[in-house]
A and B are shown apart, each in its own frame.
Chain A
Amino acid sequence: MSTKDAMIEFRDVHKYYGDYHALRGITATIRPGEFFSLLGPSGCGKTTLLRTIAGFEGISSGAVLVDGRDMSGVPAHKRPTNMVFQSYAIFPHLSVEENVGFGLRKDPRSSADKARAVGEALEMVGLKGYCKRASHALSGGQRQRVALARALILKPKVLLLDEPLSALDKKMREQMQMELIKLQRQVGITFILVTHDQEEALVMSDRIAVMFEGEIAQLADPETLYRRPNSRKVPNFIGTMNFLPAKILQESARAVEVDVAGFGRVNVDAQQVMACASGESATVGFRPETLTVLFDPSAKSERESMATIEEVIYFGDMTYYDVRIDGTGTPVRISMSNVFGRQVLDIGARVRVGWSLGALVLFR
Chain B
Amino acid sequence: MKVHALRSYTIAYLVFLYAPIILLPLFAFNDSKVIAFPLSGFTTTWFITMWKDQSLWTALKNSLVISISVAVFSTTFGLFASRAATRFEFPAKGAALGLIMLPLVLPEMIVAMSMLVVLLAIGVPLSIFTIILGHVLLCTPFSTAILTSAFQSLDQSLEEAAMDLGETPLSTVWLIVLPLVMPGIISSVLICFTISLDEFIMSYFLGGNEPVLSTYIFGQFRFPARVPAIMALGTILVCLSITLLAIAEYFRRRGIAKSGGKDTGGFL
Q: Which A residues contact B (CB, under 8 angstroms)?
A: 54-56, 75-78, 81-83, 85-87, 89, 91-93, 102-103, 105-106, 136-137, 150-151, 154
Contacts and interface: CB of A to CB of B under 8 A. Distances in A.
A106 B166 contact: yes
Contacts of B166: 77-78, 103, 105-106, 154
17 contacts: A55-B163, A75-B168, A77-B166, A77-B167, A77-B168, A78-B166, A83-B164, A85-B160, A85-B161, A89-B160, A92-B259, A92-B260, A93-B180, A105-B167, A136-B258, A137-B260, A154-B165
Interface of B: 155, 157-158, 160-168, 176, 179-180, 257-260
Contact of B163 (A75, A105, A137, A154): A75
Contacts of A103: 165-166
A91 B160 CA distance: 11
Contacts of A92: 180, 258-260
Contact of A89 (B158, B167, B257, B259): B158
Contacts of A55: 163
A91 B158 contact: yes
B160 A76 contact: yes
Given A89-B157, A150-B165, A136 B176 contact: no
Interface of B is mostly: helix
Given A92-B180, A92-B260, A76 B157 contact: no
A55 B258 CA distance: 29
Contacts of B176: 91
Q: Which of B158, B161, B180, B258 has the most CB of A within 10 A?
A: B161
Contacts of A137: 260
A51 to B, nearest CB: 8
Nearest to B172: A77
A137 B259 CA distance: 10
Contacts of B258: 92-93, 136
A154 B167 CA distance: 13
Contacts of A83: 160-161, 164
A247 to B, nearest CB: 53
Contacts of A85: 157, 160-161
A45 B260 CA distance: 31
B237 to A, nearest CB: 34
Given A89-B155, A92-B260, A103-B166, 14 more contacts: A56-B160, A75-B168, A77-B166, A78-B166, A82-B164, A87-B155, A91-B158, A91-B161, A91-B162, A102-B162, A136-B258, A137-B260, A151-B165, A154-B165
A352 to B, nearest CB: 56
B157 A86 contact: yes
B175 to A, nearest CB: 8
Contacts of A78: 166
A287 to B, nearest CB: 38
A55 B161 CA distance: 11
A55 B162 CA distance: 13
A247 B110 CA distance: 82
Contacts of A102: 162, 165
A76 B168 CA distance: 9
Chain B CB count within 10 A is highest, among A75, A86, A91, for A91
Contacts of B179: 93
Contact of A77 (B157, B163, B180, B260): B163
Contacts of A89: 155, 157-158, 160-161
B86 to A, nearest CB: 17
Contacts of A93: 179-180, 258-259
B163 to A, nearest CB: 4
A83 B167 CA distance: 14
A342 B259 CA distance: 56
B91 to A, nearest CB: 13
Contacts of B160: 54, 56, 76, 83, 85, 89
B260 A136 contact: yes
A75 B164 CA distance: 9
A106 B168 CA distance: 12
A136 B259 contact: yes
A150 B155 CA distance: 18
A14 to B, nearest CB: 21
Nearest to A83: B164
A189 B162 CA distance: 21
A55 B164 CA distance: 8
Most-contacted residue by chain A among B157, B166, B179 (CB, 10 A): B166
A92 B183 CA distance: 13
Contacts of B162: 91, 102
A138 to B, nearest CB: 9
Minimum-distance CB pairs A-B, first 3: A136-B260, A103-B165, A89-B161
Nearest to B180: A93
B205 to A, nearest CB: 44
Contacts of B257: 136
Nearest to A136: B260
Contacts of B180: 92-93
A103 to B, nearest CB: 4
Contacts of B167: 77, 105
A165 to B, nearest CB: 16
A5 B165 CA distance: 26
